[in-house]
């Protein structure tokens, strides 16, 4: 999605809010997501395809805050974990996504018959429409 499309969508969201209404903004943030097995890191997932869109959205929200259209009331950075029953399930799930595993990690994960977790950082922001 192009940056101007993101800004357009954000403005439409803001217009849909009642005066002083609240909007929650959830975004993925750096660093790249990490695949873990038993709490130990196995590899990183290339997050750049998702960060490109996320960066545009962040810039759009930041601009709306800077111009006073939205007020940022709270921010929470946290980990989000997605659980898989096996490495093969994880590889299959990511095969259709823009984010990619490192090629050398795919055969290792495909043979892994243990639960896996993808850990990624996210930011939740509480925004209020200002009028």
Could you please report the per-residue DSSP string of 28-69?
EEEEEEEEEETTEEEEE-B-HHHHHHHHHHHHHHHHHHHTTS
**Neighbour order of strands in the sheet with 22-37:** 40-44, 22-37, 116-129, 70-84
As a whole number, the mean pLDDT across the chain is 93
The pLDDT, as a whole number, for residue 1 is: 62
**At 53, is the pLDDT very low, low, confident or very high (cuts 50, 70, 90)?**
confident
- Do the Cβ atoms of 84 and 118 come closer than 8 Å? yes
The pLDDT, as a whole number, for residue 6 is: 74
Q: Is the pLDDT of residue 107 over 70?
A: yes
The pLDDT, as a whole number, for residue 3 is: 63
The pLDDT, as a whole number, for residue 24 is: 94
Give tens-digit pLDDT for 5-49: 777 788 888 889 999 999 999 999 999 999 999 999 999 999 999
Cα 43 to Cα 13, 33, 81, 100, 116, distances in angstroms: 37, 9, 15, 11, 11
């Amino acid at each position: 999605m192009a940056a101007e499309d993101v800004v357009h969508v954000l403005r439409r969201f803001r217009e849909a809010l009642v005066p002083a209404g609240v909007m929650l903004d959830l975004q993925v943030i750096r660093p790249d997501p990490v695949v873990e097995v038993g709490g130990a890191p196995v590899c990183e997932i290339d997050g750049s395809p998702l960060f490109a869109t996320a960066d545009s959205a962040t810039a759009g929200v930041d601009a709306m805050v800077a111009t006073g259209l939205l007020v940022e009331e709270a921010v929470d950075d946290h980990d989000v974990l997605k659980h898989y029953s096996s490495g093969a399930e994880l590889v299959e799930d990511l095969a259709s996504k823009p984010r990619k595993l490192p090629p050398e990690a795919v055969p290792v994960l495909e043979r892994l018959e243990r639960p896996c977790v993808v850990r990624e950082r996210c930011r939740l922001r509480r925004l209020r429409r200002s009028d």
